[in-house]
Amino acid sequence: MEIKKIRLGNLLLPSNVLMAPLVGYTCYPFRMLAYEMGAGLCFTEMVSANALKYQDQATKRLLLTTKQETIKAVQLLGGIPTIMEKMACSELLKDFDVIDINMGCPVPNVFKSGEGSALMLDQPRASAIIRACKKSGKAVTVKCRTGIREDKMFTAEFARMCEDAGADMITIHGRSRSMMYEGRPYYEEIEQAKTAVSIPVIANGGIFSIEDATQIMEQTGADGIMLARYALENPFIFSTLTRKKCEKTLLQVVLEQIDLVSGYYDETFSLAYIRKLAAYGMKKRKGTKQYKERLYRSGSLEEVKEVVKLIFA
């Protein structure tokens, strides 16, 4: 695939290979890893605007960043324009350059609350939310799906609404809300959206190899791709795609992640994160079942380090 820079408002993203916001994974340490490997933009985990309004401490922790993260992007979840505007303009998000509005989350409790992919059913409200977030002066992006059901998709129409409301970029997961995370993505829907708007369109969904990345770019004509779960399994996909030199082993990467996460988070969070990350890394390695059991029994980061050395030696 062609690697190029993307203009996003006043920002210039160094590459068109992006990392998706993933609950439980895209904390500060993983974002720094993705950037080091060549990612053009990484997002925080999904952050609830409503929870931020009430100063929820666990939610505020999701916003952890430092000056070393040169481009900072937060994904905001919410369904009420006034609350989204208040949070987008708040001191809590003052360090962030980009606000990505979640209009694609398919999980039932989010959908029933009128947030996430439910916003695709209410385009006037979705438009009002984009316009509200634009008042922050930050670049505003939208992550959505192809629609709610497979038999009635309206990706291009929704993309035009996003552009008209002021969105600087749109990322499209090639599945409908009813498909959740399974089934063949509808790349033709992404292609139709790309031809309908002039803002950058990023293709997401079903990318688990370099071949997949090349295929989705060719089929959709998108400006870039957004990786998700596969990047957890193989973070080197960023450096491979962007041709950025990297001589580290997976063992070195995981050990560095342990050091980084322990420097910013408590041990409970650090243990949970490293266990999950290491489990993804050993996904296709033979004979690792016994190590996975030891990994989850480990009660300290030092124990985890020893198990990790055995797994990725």
Angstrom distances, CA of residue 218 to CA of 156, 189, 237, 238, 270: 18, 13, 18, 18, 39
Q: What angle do CA 183, 197, 177 make, to 5 degrees?
A: 25
Q: What's at 310, amino acid-wise? A: L
Q: ∠ at Cα 27 (21, 33), nearest 5°? A: 90
8 Å CB contact between 116 and 106: yes
Are 189 and 146 in contact by the 8 Å Cβ rule? The answer is yes
Confirm whether 105 is a catalytic residue.
yes
Residue identified by tokens 């992007």 is 73
How buried is residue 94: exposed, middle or buried, by Cβ count under 10 Å (0-12/13-18/19+)? Answer: exposed
Q: What share of the chain is helix, strand, coil (3-state, %, to 5)?
A: 50, 15, 35
Q: Which of 42, 105, 144, 162 is catalytic?
A: 105
Best CA proximity match to 73, nearest among 131, 13, 117: 13
φ/ψ of 75, rounded to 5, equals -100, 125
CA atoms of 259 and 198, how far apart (whole Å)? 42
Q: How far from 61 is each of 5, 70, 232, 244, 266, CA to CA, in Å?
A: 30, 19, 21, 31, 11
Q: Rounded to an integer, what is the distance from CA 22 to the centroid of its chain?
A: 5
Question: Is the Cβ–Cβ distance between 138 and 92 less than 8 Å?
Answer: no
Torsion of CA 189, 193, 196, 198, to 10 degrees: -160
For the annotated catalytic residues, the residue numbers are 105
